[in-house]
Structure formats: structure tokens, C-alpha cells
Amino acid sequence: MIWKATLAFALLASLTLIGCNSQKASGYQPKPSKKAEVKPVEPGKEATLFPMAEGNQWTFEVEAAGRTDEITLKVISVSPMEGGIKARLEFTSGTQVIDKQAWEITSNGIFQLSAGNPEVTFSPRQTAVPFPIEVGKKFAWKGTALLPIGQAGPSSHKNEVQAWQLVDSGIGRVTALPIQTYAEFMAKVDGQDVPATMASTTYWSPGIGLVRYVQRIAVGNATSGQTLRLKSYVVK
């Protein structure tokens, strides 16, 4: 939704936005509610955290660098594969394609295979959500992918499945599973390699998909961030 620049998230790596050096992806705290209840996904229906059918789409409000924009993620195609499905998606801003992605969903989880425009293949594939879902589960990744700053290169990630919670979104308050990620990589700045980090939290909602994504990046002394918030969606 990656998108996630870790989903490689590299959900929005193509926007080349820079975030802050902290293992806490944000100070976001859902507003308390006495009426809504947390309803985790039912066992065996974990794939509904990212519904994959051709034509499914999600429109997000993006806040970054003092600006607010709107982008849309759309499923372009879905094909069967041994043990699951493979899907191709595109992020668009207006009529411009800003990011192309490939994903897999199997009984073992949701995985991102590539991101970018031009597209960069992740080696190995990155786990976005491991199945079965275990709150507190930690998992790691190390390899080559599209980095959060829009460059391709090696990075290492540490991830943790957080507790189910209610999340504020443009469609109201929804149950979501947060996946927290902390990444380290080297960024090219004026021809020099500079240590960089990224902290992000991706919120997945059963039957809806990605509802919120918070990313903070630090490259040397430069820090900034971005937040995606679901505004509307169409799921078949």
C-alpha cells in the first residue's frame, strides 16, 4: 500500500517525500468512542484486508509538506497463481500514473512484489501482512526494493503486528490492523551516501483495505512525513 514505502509499503515512494527518525510512526491516536466496537477479521478471511478484484479502487487524501492532495489506487488486473492470486495495481493523481505495483495474496499473507514508475522489483518479495494474524508478531525483511525517497537500493526492515483498533478515516471509524515498520537504508544526496531511516504504520481494515498510512523519514538532518487517509472506496 505498501505505498507504504515499505509495503514496502513503497505505496507513495514515487512522491519522493522525506520523513522523521523515530520508531514511532506518528503521534496519531484514534478518538475514543463508546458506540463503535473493534471487530477483528474472522479466521480464514484474512485476505479481505486487501480485497483484490479487477476494478476495486481506493481514493486517499494525502497530507505532506504542508500540502493536501488526492490520489487513487486501482486494481488493474488479477490472475490466479499456485496457492493464491497475483494482482497489478496503479496509483494515479488526476490522469497521471505515479506508481505501478504488483502484489500477491496467499494463505501465508499479503506480499508486495514491486513498486514505482518505472517499476522496481523487490528482491525478495516483502511481507505486508503475515497470516495467520498474530498480534505482537515480529517479522523482518532485508533486500533490494524501491526506497521511500524514490531511489532503488538495499534496505532492512523490522515489522510488528499491532493490536486491532478503531481508526478515524474519511468514511468514518473502522476497525483496522496496524502494521508498524522501521527501516534503515542509504540515500544518495548530492552524490554522497547518507544514512536514512523510515518509520511507518499501515492500517488495514477487513472488507475495505488500506484505510490509513503514516510515514516519517529522516535523511541526514532532513526530516518530514506524509499521511494517507481513505476518503472513498469501491470494492466488489
Say what the pLDDT of residue 8 is: 34
The model carries a pTM of 0.87
Q: Residue 167 is placed in which grid cell?
A: 481508526
pLDDT at 93 over 70: yes
- Environment class of residue 196 by beta-carbon count within 10 Å: exposed (0-12), middle (13-18) or buried (19+)? buried
Q: Give the CA radius of gyration of the chain.
A: 16
Q: What is the mean pLDDT of residues 144-161?
A: 94
Mean pLDDT computed over every residue of the chain: 88
Residue 118: other Cβ atoms inside 10 A = 8
User: Distance between CA atoms of 201 and 57, rounded to whole angstroms?
Assistant: 21
User: Distance between CA atoms of 125 and 111, rounded to whole angstroms?
Assistant: 6
DSSP 57: E
Say what the pLDDT of residue 115 is: 96
Q: Residue 148 is placed in which grid cell?
A: 521511500
- The residues near 60 (Cβ < 8 Å, ≥ 6 apart) are 70, 71, 72, 73, 210, 213, 228, 229, 230, 231
User: Distance between CA atoms of 185 and 78, rounded to whole angstroms?
Assistant: 32
Q: What is the mean pLDDT of residues 84-108?
A: 97
pLDDT at 166 over 90: yes
Give whichever of 9-13, 35-39, 44-48, 66-70 has the largest mean pLDDT.
Answer: 44-48
**Which amino acid would we find at residue 64?**
A
Residues 54-92: tens digit of each pLDDT: 999 999 999 988 899 999 999 999 999 999 999 999 999
User: Distance between CA atoms of 152 and 120, rounded to whole angstroms?
Assistant: 7
Say what the pLDDT of residue 148 is: 86
pLDDT at 24 over 90: no
Residues 197-225: tens digit of each pLDDT: 999 999 999 999 999 999 999 999 898 89
pLDDT at 154 over 90: yes
pLDDT at 48 over 90: yes
For the ranges 3-12, 159-168, 196-205, which has the lowest average pLDDT? 3-12
Taking CA atoms, 236 is separated from 6, 22, 166, 218, in Å, by 26, 37, 23, 38
For the ranges 11-15, 169-173, 224-228, which has the lowest average pLDDT? 11-15
Q: Residue 101 is placed in which grid cell?
A: 505495483
User: Distance between CA atoms of 134 and 172, rounded to whole angstroms?
Assistant: 26
Say what the pLDDT of residue 32 is: 55
- Is residue 27 very low, low, confident or very high in pLDDT (cuts 50, 70, 90)? low
Residues 169-206: tens digit of each pLDDT: 999 999 999 999 999 999 988 889 999 999 999 999 99
Q: Residue 133 is placed in which grid cell?
A: 494474524
Parse the chain into domains and list their residue ranges: 13-234
The CATH number, out of the four listed (2.40.360, 3.40.50, 2.60.40, 1.10.20), of the domain defined by the range 13-234: 2.40.360
Q: Are 72 and 59 in contact (CB under 8 A)?
A: yes
- Is residue 1 very low, low, confident or very high in pLDDT (cuts 50, 70, 90)? very low
